[in-house]
Structure 1
Amino acid sequence: MAATPAAPADVAATPPSDPGTARIDPGAHGDTQAADSARCLARTGDAVSREAQAIHRWVDAAGIVHYADRAPPGTVREHRRIALSGVPPISVEATGYDVNLPSDVHARAVADAVAIDRVLRQVFEADGDDRLALRMVFVASTEAYARFVGEAALARSAGAYSARERTVYVRMQGDAALTFRVLRHEIVHALVHERVGNLPTTLNEGLAGYFERFEAAGQGGRVDLSGLGARLAAAAPSDPAAALTDLLALDGPAFYRNEPERRYAQALALVAVLMRDAAGRAALGEVLARQRAQACDPIAIEAVLDARYPGGLAALADDLAAWMRAPDTAAPHW
């Protein structure tokens, strides 16, 4: 399960970072994982039709608005069928558990997922089916959200992706922009589960932190890194080589145990540095491609980056530390 903690008071402009990982739940797949790596991919796209679709909007008995690709069950109010002009590869089912959904949640979720998915697939040169089914639940109350997440320690989190349930949970924020940023963060975890597999936590969180700042536009978009300078500089390591070795070695709960905000900042910066030029993207792409080839078991990303990044891990450590101390926050376009 992946979940995002509430932002500290002194980082009010920064959306919550994710304190869990989009790890594949072994209990969901049994002992056949090693024999069939594809079982560790979400494969929700298998159920997405290529035929023309429509969006159904309705209001349930509690007055909550729902959007889905399927007609509502039972008797509901204000049911409308909204025809789509094209056939998007992303199927979205959005539900408000105890809160009405943002009016444009369906359109924005599709646009963000399609655009981010396109960038990720370009990075690791993934061909084939681009379908994906996203199921998301928006929750207002802390108590209800804690029940969904299933762990009392995560009751203050802002978003979660359940690998077992293939579902994104979002706790509504006071600001719509923050709510959608949390949603994008969790969509990235869902995409990693769909396309890549059991990616090591540092890179999984780095990708989610980087692309939560993605702003879709047309067939592409940009990543808005503005406002991150102080946060990144504060997390810059004094010993770059040791810090990168430690960061890449962390996985699962260990990533969140000590100074989690520093870990999030470093993981985001790692992805930003890798994404800034063709050589870095090639190294990142190799990591993602190899992970997809053996989706169940997290690969040793250190070895891949050492072999593929110009100058190896030593150069990457220096580049990462230098970028964090003086980050180039110009928005890259994809």
Structure 2
Amino acid sequence: MAPAIEALPKQTAACLAHTAANAPASAIAVHRWVDASGITHYSDQPPAASVKDHRVIEVQGLPPVAVQASGYDMNLPDQLQQRAVADALGVQRVLRDALGVAASAATLRVVFVKDASTYAGLIGDPALATSAGAYSTAQRTIYVRMQTQDEASFAVLRHEITHALAHESIGNLPTSINEGLAEYFGRYRVGGMGGQIDIGADRTAIVGAAPGGDGSDALVDLLARDGADFYAADGGASGREQRYLRSYALVALLMRDAIGRAALAALLAGQQADPCRPIAVENLLDARYPGGLPALASAWAGFMRAPPPAIQAY
């Protein structure tokens, strides 16, 4: 089972980044250098004078996303800079076009870590020590623990990029929605000017996490769990993994059609209006989803018991 991917506890003082200050530029200097440990770094900020192999790459017409990436105890994966920017822009496009979330300039600070104990020390929270990635709202930094395969590491990075973009442009979402969006876009694959999510790829895992009955009690429990309560390992790691899958399935269901997207868009707009406090998600979905929360719970339970073998294209 893959380790959990979690957002660090929310910091009220840093509840919403002021993205208006990050104005898009027509050109940006990308600095590349090698530090004393032989680790390669990329950033839009120049390094200290003592580094080796410092190069400056001037990129014209760069989209309004900048990546400051470093490897704490390792070299960065190949093509990290390009892929991180492409993934961030892909997520921004879907948020804007499907859910009405305005795209804005963003600076993504990313730290890749290889050693598990070093990662746990950087995260600073024992409860998150075994996670694969985390986004610190206080430091506005993404931490990724390097996986055995680069593609798995990039999936973790996409998950955390979604957390960063959501925090910057929407606010402190309820944990179930925050993690559901991050799980959904963690599966996003950029292709050309768009991208796609293979909903059927996780069919077996989704079916295994499906709730019993009409789904009402399970949905209320999921939506009510916030922060540490969502990440708690009650019932073992499988219980936490189940909550991730259920959150993913909820967002995938809502994103599937215009009715669901309208309800999710209303939720995100409500959160933007009061970014520092998680919105009362149960009340909003009950008001905006046709048939209310009981109808949503029934549709969600049915979706998880028989996930469609579909690819959602954007």
- Provide the TM-score with structure 1 as the length reference: 0.88
| Match of residue 87 from structure 1 | 62
Moved more, 81-90 or 275-284: 81-90
Answer yes or no: is 1:308 the counterpart of 2:288: yes
Question: Is the alpha carbon distance of 1:68 and 1:276 closer, same or farther for their aligned partners in structure 2, counting shifts above 3 Å?
Answer: same
Aligned pairs for 1:192-231 within 5 A: 192-231=166-205
Query: Matched residue pairs, number?
Result: 308
> After superposition, what is the alpha-carbon deviation per residue over 1:142-172, rounded to whole angstroms, capped at 9, x for unaligned?
1211111102333222111101000000011
| Match of residue 41 from structure 1 | 16
Structure 2 distance, partners of 1:44, 1:280, is 28
Amino acid at match of 2:231: Y
Question: Is the alpha carbon distance of 1:227 and 1:17 closer, same or farther for their aligned partners in structure 2, counting shifts above 3 Å?
Answer: farther
Answer yes or no: is 1:117 the counterpart of 2:97: no
Q: State the identity %.
A: 50
Q: 1:110 offset after TM fit, Å?
A: 0.2
Q: 1:48 offset after TM fit, Å?
A: 4.6
For the 8 Å contact 1:173–1:179, the answer to whether it is kept is yes
| Match of residue 273 from structure 2 | 293
Aligned pairs for 1:212-251 within 5 A: 212-239=186-213, 240-251=215-226
> After superposition, what is the alpha-carbon deviation per residue over 1:120-158, rounded to whole angstroms, capped at 9, x for unaligned?
12333234x610010000011112111111023332221
Q: 1:310 offset after TM fit, Å?
A: 2.0
Structure 2: tracts of 5 or more residues without a match: none
| Match of residue 252 from structure 1 | 227
Structure 2 distance, partners of 1:284, 1:22, is 23
Structure 1 distance, partners of 2:104, 2:194, is 16
Q: 1:97 aligns with which of 45, 53, 72?
A: 72
Amino acid at match of 1:25: Q
Q: 1:270 offset after TM fit, Å?
A: 0.2
Amino acid at match of 1:223: I
Amino acid at match of 2:250: L
Structure 1: tracts of 5 or more residues without a match: 1-7, 9-14, 30-38
Q: 1:44 offset after TM fit, Å?
A: 4.8
Structure 2 distance, partners of 1:329, 1:57, is 43
SS of residue in 2 equivalent to 1:332: strand
Question: Is the alpha carbon distance of 1:281 and 1:114 closer, same or farther for their aligned partners in structure 2, counting shifts above 3 Å?
Answer: same
For the 8 Å contact 2:86–2:190, the answer to whether it is kept is yes
Q: 1:132 aligns with which of 92, 98, 106?
A: 106
Structure 2 distance, partners of 1:145, 1:214, is 25
Structure 2 distance, partners of 1:166, 1:90, is 14
> After superposition, what is the alpha-carbon deviation per residue over 1:247-294, rounded to whole angstroms, capped at 9, x for unaligned?
111111111223111111110000000000011001000000000110
For the 8 Å contact 1:48–1:91, the answer to whether it is kept is no
| Match of residue 10 from structure 2 | 24
Q: How large is the Cα RMSD of the aligned pairs?
A: 1.6
| Match of residue 146 from structure 1 | 120
For the 8 Å contact 1:161–1:189, the answer to whether it is kept is yes
> After superposition, what is the alpha-carbon deviation per residue over 1:64-121, rounded to whole angstroms, capped at 9, x for unaligned?
0001112222222122222223221001100011100012000000000011012112
